[in-house]
Amino acid sequence: MLHDEGIVLSKRKLRIGIVVGEVSGDTLGVKLMRSFQAQGIEVEFEGVGGPQMIAAGFNSFYDMDIFAVMGIVEVLKDLKKFYAIRDDLVERWQKNPIDIFIGIDAPDFNLRLSKEIKQKHLPTKTVQYVSPSVWAWRQGRVHGIKASIDLVLCLLPFEKSFYQQFDVPAAFVGHPLASELPLHNPIAEAKTELGLDAHQQHIALLPGSRRGEVERLGPVLFDAAHLIFQKYPQTQFIVPAINQARLEQIEALLDQYPEALRKHVHVFENSQAELKIGRQVMNAADIIALASGTATLEAMLLHRPMVSFYKLNWLTYWIVKLLVKIQYYALPNIIGGKKVIQELIQQDATAENLAHEIELLMHIEKAQIQVMQFKSMHKQLLAGNSEDPVQAIMQLL
């Protein structure tokens, strides 16, 4: 046995199972893997990972894209498939037990998997990395979390306070983006990095990384871009595509628009294992129009003016509306406790409304107000007292 900062580690290689469901989870996952390695802890990682994790030595049993489904109604169609994956993972880990299971985001799947691990009495500690939004909606889930999760790793400070009310073990580990992204972030350099003219205005259009999101939200974004282009024909638009499939999907959507607009829309396919094309595109943008989600936090930490929007299947939205307990949906507004950015949800998420909000941000004063607020919130996230996620996890052993 050896001791490391008060934690007793076995000489035996640890076995850790991880399941991620999207690009942001893949990024958190690979950072966590590297952090274990940097601290000299030998670990075998397996489960469901993304390309970054696989490149770092992760043994993935399934393609991460299998979870690329959004919305309650949409998920119901694939329940049988998800149950089969869950049962297969549990069976694998019954035969060859893991020491720790870490569900990174994807709470609807990962919390059920953790529950099954507990019910099967596997000798496995369970961790949920990235708190589900129980503070926002379906708060009753906190009791299920308490029963099936040994530790919640929270990215935002107010989340830990919420769990403390229910005696759920939680650690605020900070959002990795807050320390990764600099407080001083010149846009000219970002434009040059993508081969863009630093003197032109660029509007980033981000419909999301999932197939269903691009299908549902892409037309709203491109219709809004067409409206802006008709009024401001010098405007350039930039769009990230995280992989070849999304590139083909985006290009197929753009084929429905006039050639004059298409010449002003530049689609950048991800070409690196690190999968940061979305960040590169947002960083090079004067204004960002994006689907509400984790990317709004990244845009905030890049200090780029933005408007967010989102549309769900009408039945999914109706159910969510009944269960939501918060005033705002976009993370900058939730963190700020006020409307810092405009968010257009469901029936308000029209091309006309989106184009109007983009046009408002073309006025330098309105854009600068947002940027000042983003920098202030960035500093607040950096100032929080956060814990090391690896050490918090190792305390379970």
Q: What are phi and psi of 331, to 5 degrees?
A: -60, -40
The mean of the pLDDT values for the chain is 89
Pick from 135-139, 208-212, 260-264, 316-320 the range whose average pLDDT is largest.
260-264
In total, the chain counts a number of residues equal to 397
The predicted model scores a pTM of 0.70
- What average pLDDT does the segment 86-90 reach? 95
- What average pLDDT does the segment 226-239 reach? 97
What is the pLDDT at residue 349?
A: 95
What is the pLDDT at residue 274?
A: 52
Question: What are the CA-CA distances from residue 322 to residues 72, 133, 140, 317, 318 (Å)?
Answer: 13, 15, 14, 9, 7
- What average pLDDT does the segment 39-47 reach? 96
Question: What are the CA-CA distances from residue 38 to residues 32, 35, 51, 172, 215 (Å)?
Answer: 10, 5, 20, 20, 40
Answer yes or no: are the C-beta atoms of 291 and 299 closer than 8 Å.
Answer: no
Percent of the chain as helix, strand, coil, to the nearest 5:
50, 20, 30
- Write out pLDDT tens, residues 99-109: 999 999 888 89
What is the pLDDT at residue 77?
A: 64
- Write out pLDDT tens, residues 185-200: 999 999 999 999 999 9
pLDDT higher than 60, residue 31: yes
Sketch out the chain's domains with CATH numbers. 2-178+387-394 (3.40.50.2000), 187-382 (3.40.50.2000)
Considering only CA atoms, which of 218, 216, 204, 205 is closest in space to residue 69? 216
DSSP summary character for residue 181: S
pLDDT class for 320, splitting at 50, 70, 90?
confident
Residue 133 burial by CB count (10 A; 0-12/13-18/19+): exposed, middle or buried? middle
pLDDT class for 6, splitting at 50, 70, 90?
very low
- What average pLDDT does the segment 379-389 reach? 81
State the Cα–Cα distance between residues 313 and 72, nearest whole angstrom.
Answer: 9
pLDDT higher than 70, residue 393: yes
Considering only CA atoms, which of 362, 385, 341 is closest in space to residue 231? 362
Q: Which residues have C-beta within 8 Å of that of residue 200, sequence separation ≥ 6?
A: 234, 236
As given in the structure block, the two tokens for residue 316 are: 């999914």
- Write out pLDDT tens, residues 337-353: 889 999 999 899 999 99
Q: How far is CA 104 from the centre of its chain?
A: 10
Q: Which of 31-45, 81-95, 173-187 has the lowest mean pLDDT?
A: 173-187
Q: Which of 63-77, 159-173, 309-323 has the lowest mean pLDDT?
A: 63-77
- What average pLDDT does the segment 30-34 reach? 95
- pLDDT higher at 274 or 325: 325
What is the pLDDT at residue 72?
A: 46
- Write out pLDDT tens, residues 109-154: 999 999 999 999 999 999 999 998 887 777 888 999 999 999 999 9
What is the pLDDT at residue 65?
A: 81
What is the pLDDT at residue 156?
A: 85
What is the pLDDT at residue 56?
A: 95
pLDDT class for 3, splitting at 50, 70, 90?
very low
Query: Which element (helix H / strand E) includes 231?
Result: helix 211-231
pLDDT class for 73, splitting at 50, 70, 90?
very low
- What average pLDDT does the segment 29-42 reach? 95
**Which of 170-185 are b and which e, b meaning 16 or more Cβ less than 10 Å from the residue's Cβ?**
bbbbbbbbbeebeeee
Considering only CA atoms, which of 227, 219, 225, 220 is closest in space to residue 202? 225
